[in-house]
Structure 1
Amino acid sequence: MATAEQTFVIVGAGLAGAKAAEALRTGGFDGRIVLIGDETDRPYDRPPLSKAYLQGTTEREKIYLHPAGWYTDHDIELRVGTPVTALDRTEHEVVIDGVERLGYDKVLLTTGSSPRRLQVPGADLGGVHYLRRVTDCETMKAAFAAADRVVIVGAGWIGLETAAAARAAGCAVTVVGRSKLPLLAVLGAEVAETYAALHRDHGVELRLNSGVREIVGEDNRATGIRLTDGTVVEADAIVVGVGIVPNTALAETAGLAVDNGIVVDEHLATTDPDVFAAGDVANTFYPLLGTHLRLEHWSAALNQGPVAAENMIGRVTAYDQVPYFFSDQYDSGMEYSGYVPHGSYDSVVFRGDVAAGEFIAFWMQDGRVLAGMNVNTWGVTDAIDALVRSGERVDPAKLADPDELLRYLADRVPGGAR
């Protein structure tokens, strides 16, 4: 078990790292905690950066996870603007900015991820934006305020949420995506079509089945994109949202197992018993699903950090959450619970009014609920979670029937009651 003489170092001061530090203190660890981040801001929530904060409907102070004095009050050494450049597992030290060496008994890597860069001519021109940090959000917010025309490259969650923000700012918006529908790989055609309709209904032009050949510009500033068919789409600002890449350099150079992220077990432990990882960077084993997943979702960072903390203290705890994420676009809010490997479902059951944008979609395989997504329909995530967790067959007709209480169905499924 952990003792007061021990030092726990958390590398990465985002949601996973901050929640791990909080859990260490609330869990009774009274040793030294050092939380190190390379951003100059104290830990904050990232979802508002593509939603409310980007649209200016919430103030900056509300994105932070804790008040400014919270870390000092809880005897947590928060070091911001401080890059960790190496992990020396032999000496049990992290190297800070290539010079300072800080010893640890346990270390947690919550180094997150970075935006995938567009690899085309002109990608380094001014006016091309990526969204990951609060400083990116500030720059993008100003760009939307000044722009008439915005092009979004990428039709995933970040692309669609930033498109909604640009429309809220009064910009004409074009979204460019490689697939025939936005979010096709995540949601499948049946549900992806609802997001295509949502954005078209809000005046967004969708240029799908298309890619970017180059970014065109003049005077070192982007003025538009040239699509693979040769068409030029003019823009005053360009947002690139084509995925993220886990920040695994520390782990790789330290000799830890890395495969689409830092490989960890259900206890968030790496191949080194004194090194843990959580959040975007962690390729985690999910006992419920029987597979490793690296999930780039807020809920993974929120919940994995505290589980890692428990295991660092010595309380063996498995991370056994049903994957969850949410999105807000225009007046449409959704929550998604479960996991559907690409192409693995055999049917989608809809419940509610799809045309009105108030419904639940269930992805099914052999009569079992793999995942459920509730759109503008609230108070049902626990029931969906229970249906997914049970792994039992459910009558699709009852799932689709709004007169059947979803909570009752979940409780009636063997293994589904919570």
Structure 2
Amino acid sequence: MSLASVVIVGAGQAGFQVATSLRQAGYGGRISLIGDEPGLPYQRPPLSKAYLLGKIGATNLLFRPENFYTEQRIELRHDRVTAIDRQNRRVLLEGGEALAYDHLVLATGAHNRPLPVPGAELEGVFGIKTKIDADTLAPLAKQARNVVVVGAGFIGLEFAAVAVSLGSAVHVLELGDRPMARAVSREMSELFSQAHHRWGVHLDFRQGLTRVIGENGRVTGVETSDGRILDADLVVFGIGVIPNTQLASEAGLDIANGIKVDANLLTSDLHISAIGDVACFPCLQNDEQPTRLESVQNAVDQGRTVAARLMGKPAPYGALPWFWTDQGDMKLQIAGLSNGYDSTVVIGSPDSAQLSVLCFRGDQLIAVESCNRPGDHLAARKILSRPPQLSPTEAAAAGFDLKAWEAANRD
């Protein structure tokens, strides 16, 4: 391989995966993995649930122990990249060093969309994005009596389930008319609404926030868009993220809802790739429309795709998207993208909180949402990754079993 040096900016899941996959494929050149957080690279999904509850410790968050990076000759750097010098193929570090690259991978991720109301700067108001956020939040969550969560997406509801299990009174404010509306069907939203109600979480839909109220610099409550005052000694918000494109934008790369890349995950500069939460790519499962996905699966598979290309095995990125969220005793797993679905078939039992929703666009199965039915999820990933296609008529037949259908229709 002719590349002597690969520099990776961003030491999250996507950046870590590129470095690891390169070494696994036999790359012998220099790999520099640059992260702006202290400590070793770590997983983020547990931060809003198992880690907050103390079910796993900091060591369990790590992708690999420290000796892994030494043994694999991955230079882990704790610094911030301030600029990309495309002409000379180097990145400039905040510490003053200039680091040369033959290929640059941007895995800069995303940051929390800020809470755009007066009082958002008060102590006791949190977004959850980093280990530092979770470490600061964990003891406060255990002490809180009244918690307000802003946003009923995955992160907000994961934290709501944690907080109510710790004994807090939890009130969730959501501008939409149902939980996880941008990610799941109405049937699955209803199942999770019922679960949170059962746990004691108050879900307040079509409701926003006008200000956060405080005394002596600390939150004491919030005012809702309809004028109510809610007590709160802790406010946690999850209202989406913004891709970290500033570095790429200042370097003159094409930006469109993230860093714009082609099917091979290359930017407008052939010496620079972008992957993970920051990359906007032509998604095969979304009619090749420019799409930006925030998931571990996407980060991992895009990291592998770039590593393979750098090792001389290029292929368009076409991995099936899949996602998950754990809330209380409910595990939701999603395979595919349900954008534009127009009909559903429900299998399983809402009463037992074991349910799968099959989402169709016309006669095409495009996504499957499974709650506490892991077998359905695994079958769905196989079905959606290859022909033949399952029809709505077949799925709606009495006694239909997704796992059995997949087994009977394998190539």
Q: Same fold (TM over 0.5)?
A: yes
SS at match of 2:192: helix
Is 1:354 equivalent to 2:356 in the alignment?
no
- Of the structure 1 ranges 252-261 and 397-406, higher mean CA displacement relative to structure 2 is found in 397-406
Correspondence 1:230-245 to 2 at 5 A: 230-245=227-242
The TM-score normalised by the length of structure 2 is: 0.96
Correspondence 1:35-54 to 2 at 5 A: 35-54=33-52
1:391 Cα shift? 6.8
Q: Deviations over 1:218-276 (max 9, x none)?
A: 11111111001110111110001101100001110011111011111222111111100
Q: Deviations over 1:267-301 (max 9, x none)?
A: 21111111001110011222344222100111111
Query: What amino acid sits opposite 1:232 in the alignment?
Result: I
Is 1:409 equivalent to 2:405 in the alignment?
yes
1: distance between equivalents of 2:308 and 2:386? 26
Query: What amino acid sits opposite 2:140 in the alignment?
Result: A
Query: What amino acid sits opposite 1:211 in the alignment?
Result: G
Identical amino acids, percent of aligned pairs: 37
Question: Does the aligned pair in 2 maintain the 1:9–1:108 contact within 8 Å?
Answer: yes
Partner of 1:181: 178
Q: Which runs of 5+ in 1 are unaligned?
A: none
Q: Deviations over 1:186-208 (max 9, x none)?
A: 22323211111111110001111
Q: Deviations over 1:113-138 (max 9, x none)?
A: 00000111111111100100001011
SS at match of 1:33: strand
Change in CA separation of 1:312 and 1:395 when aligned onto 2, cut-off 3 Å:
closer
Question: Does the aligned pair in 1 maintain the 2:187–2:357 contact within 8 Å?
Answer: no
2: distance between equivalents of 1:370 and 1:31? 41
1:355 Cα shift? 1.9
Partner of 1:380: 376
1:303 pairs, out of 301, 324, 328, with 301
2: distance between equivalents of 1:352 and 1:96? 54
- Of the structure 1 ranges 101-110 and 309-318, higher mean CA displacement relative to structure 2 is found in 309-318
Change in CA separation of 1:288 and 1:370 when aligned onto 2, cut-off 3 Å:
closer
1:378 Cα shift? 1.7
2: distance between equivalents of 1:190 and 1:61? 38
Partner of 1:331: 329
Partner of 1:190: 187
Partner of 2:274: 277
SS at match of 1:52: coil
Correspondence 1:8-407 to 2 at 5 A: 8-80=6-78, 82-97=79-94, 99-289=96-286, 290-341=288-339, 344-390=340-386, 394-400=390-396, 403-407=399-403
1:411 Cα shift? 5.5
Question: Does the aligned pair in 2 maintain the 1:85–1:98 contact within 8 Å?
Answer: no
SS at match of 2:235: strand
Q: Deviations over 1:337-383 (max 9, x none)?
A: 00122xx1111111011121101111111121110011111223342
CA RMSD of the aligned region, Å?
Answer: 1.6
2: distance between equivalents of 1:329 and 1:350? 21
Query: What amino acid sits opposite 1:287 in the alignment?
Result: L
1:149 Cα shift? 1.0
1: distance between equivalents of 2:51 and 2:63? 14
Query: What amino acid sits opposite 1:110 in the alignment?
Result: A
1: distance between equivalents of 2:60 and 2:326? 17
2: distance between equivalents of 1:370 and 1:50? 29
Count of residue pairs brought into register by the alignment: 410
Change in CA separation of 1:184 and 1:371 when aligned onto 2, cut-off 3 Å:
same
Q: Which runs of 5+ in 2 are unaligned?
A: none
Stretches (4+) displaced over 4 A:
390-393
Question: Does the aligned pair in 1 maintain the 2:332–2:370 contact within 8 Å?
Answer: yes
1: distance between equivalents of 2:371 and 2:396? 14
The TM-score normalised by the length of structure 1 is: 0.94
Query: What amino acid sits opposite 1:323 in the alignment?
Result: P
